[in-house]
Amino acid sequence: MNTILVEVTTKCLHKCAGCCNHFDGNIEIDYDILSKFLDYARRYCNKLTLCGGDPLLYSKLHDLLEFAKAKDYFISLDTVGYNISEDLDQTIPTVSPRFLSTKVDMLGLCIDGSTNQIAQSFRTNYIDIIDRQLNLLSFLENYKLNICINTVVSKKNYYDLKNIYNLIKNFNNIKKWQLFEFVATGNGYKNRDVYEIADYDNIVDDLLSQIDNSKFLIQKKHKNARSTNYILITPKGTAIIPDPDNNSNIEIGNIKNQSTFDTIIAEILKSNEHRSIYE
């Protein structure tokens, strides 16, 4: 699939020490501008991945999902998931799992440890993060939502990967487990010495050798597939190629300017071809 990756908001319920987000205020992408770009890009791209921040905190999420689904995009959405609820009385805006099940083809949830303590070494703000995620996974089994578990492999959890697998292996709604090599961008750059590992391939290959007949797909996600070959549209509309080795971004255009659409799409297609080598 040719994927458009959009950071729709910088808003998040976490402030993770290893996150790629820069946490530069509560910025949201302009819905009208984004929808115009997605309409134009649909002839070339067929998958839309929403990230952040947390996309569930994007004020125009319902409109965006309705629009993208009407354009027949395969929609993937990565979230912490804490505000997925039918309870409208919560203190934060909630998103109905029933609505998500009709619009989102793959819902990505983060699990970075088999215990609360291990997960807290990367994900902050909630001391019961794994308890929350397991409860959410159980809750979502009542809905037709395909789940992808996202794990960032780092110095803090590399030894715990088999335990994470054992924790999630019996959930029937999990269709994929992505094991991301830590990439030092955003907030994670200043903490790279805490998280960065040198032997990602050996660690993940060893894990895979211990697993037989997994019910879900397990994918390695190399940082080489993302370093300088990864196109991200930011909340400001800027299309960037992250360059984590230099803690910088290469700007290739802005979707506010329609004259840059073709340049941005060409780079997206090139980056998708590059990533396919590693996946």
What would the pLDDT profile of 7-60 be if each residue is shown by its tens digit? 999 988 777 877 777 666 789 999 999 999 999 999 999 999 999 889 999 999
Domain count for the chain, please give it.
1
**CA–CA dist 252, 233 (Å, integer):** 10
pLDDT > 90 fraction of the chain, expressed in percent and rounded:
62
**CA–CA dist 48, 45 (Å, integer):** 8
Evaluate the omega torsion of the peptide bond into residue 81 and state whether it is cis, within 30 degrees of 0: no
Reading the block at residue 171, the tokens are 């959930």
> Which residue, among 44, 2, 9, has the nearest Cα to 29 in the 3D structure?
9
**CA–CA dist 183, 153 (Å, integer):** 10
What's the pLDDT band for 116 if we cut at 50, 70, 90?
A: very high
Backbone angles phi, psi at 219, to 5 degrees: -120, 135
Reading the block at residue 117, the tokens are 């303590």
**CA–CA dist 60, 208 (Å, integer):** 39
What's the pLDDT band for 277 if we cut at 50, 70, 90?
A: very low
Q: What is the pLDDT of residue 141?
A: 93
> Which residue, among 139, 146, 169, has the nearest Cα to 77 in the 3D structure?
146
Q: What is the pLDDT of residue 92?
A: 64
**CA–CA dist 223, 232 (Å, integer):** 15
Q: What is the pTM of this model?
A: 0.92
**Domain CATH for 30:** 3.20.20.70
Reading the block at residue 202, the tokens are 């050996």
Backbone angles phi, psi at 138, to 5 degrees: -65, -45
Averaged pLDDT, 158-165: 97
Q: What is the pLDDT of residue 276?
A: 47
Q: What is the pLDDT of residue 20?
A: 73
- What are the CA-CA distances from residue 119 to residues 45, 70, 134, 148, 215 (Å)? 34, 37, 13, 17, 24
End-to-end C-alpha distance for the chain, whole angstroms = 12
Cβ proximity of 269 and 47 under 8 Å: no
Q: Which of 6-10, 41-45, 106-110, 185-189 has the lowest mean pLDDT?
A: 185-189
Cβ proximity of 199 and 175 under 8 Å: no
Q: Which of 13-27, 46-60, 159-173, 201-215 has the lowest mean pLDDT?
A: 13-27
Which is more confident, 94 or 58?
A: 58
Query: Would you tell me how many other CB atoms lie within 10 Å of the CB of residue 3?
Result: 19
Q: 230-275, pLDDT tens digit by residue?
A: 788 999 999 998 777 777 788 999 999 999 999 999 988 887 664 4
Q: What is the pLDDT of residue 166?
A: 97
Provide the domain limits for residue 179: 3-276
